[in-house]
């Protein structure tokens, strides 16, 4: 967990970690980090949400990816072209 490191827990560090999860095809870890953000009171943004959607989508976890995508609207996070692209790619 990021809580066990000396890194500052913020949107930038979580975005980087989520992108690493995508590249390493670690969708479960990406979901854990995404949930940890809320527990750590780190605000989610379009970049972090899209990274989590991509991490799930890359591993064929389209349902989880779409749930995250829909959750963006609920959390009042802007769904931009990158977010829509990540959601569509998850369904391919």
Q: Which residues of the chain have pLDDT under 50?
A: none
- Nearest Cα neighbor of 33 from 60, 20, 23 is 20
Give me the pLDDT at residue 87, please: 96
- E strands, the chain, in order: none
Give me the pLDDT at residue 5, please: 63
Which tokens go with 10?
A: 């913020």
CB contact at 8 A, 48 and 37: yes
Give me the pLDDT at residue 9, please: 86
Give me the pLDDT at residue 17, please: 95
Model-wide pTM > 0.85:
yes
């Amino acid at each position: 967990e990021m809580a066990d490191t000396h890194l500052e827990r913020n949107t930038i560090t979580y975005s980087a970690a989520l992108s690493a999860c995508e590249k390493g095809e670690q969708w479960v870890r990406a979901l854990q980090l995404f949930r940890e953000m809320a527990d750590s009171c780190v605000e989610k943004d379009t970049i972090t949400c899209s990274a989590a959607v991509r991490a799930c989508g890359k591993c064929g976890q389209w349902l989880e990816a779409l749930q995250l995508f829909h959750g963006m609207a609920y959390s009042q996070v802007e769904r931009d072209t990158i977010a829509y692209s990540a959601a569509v790619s998850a369904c391919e």
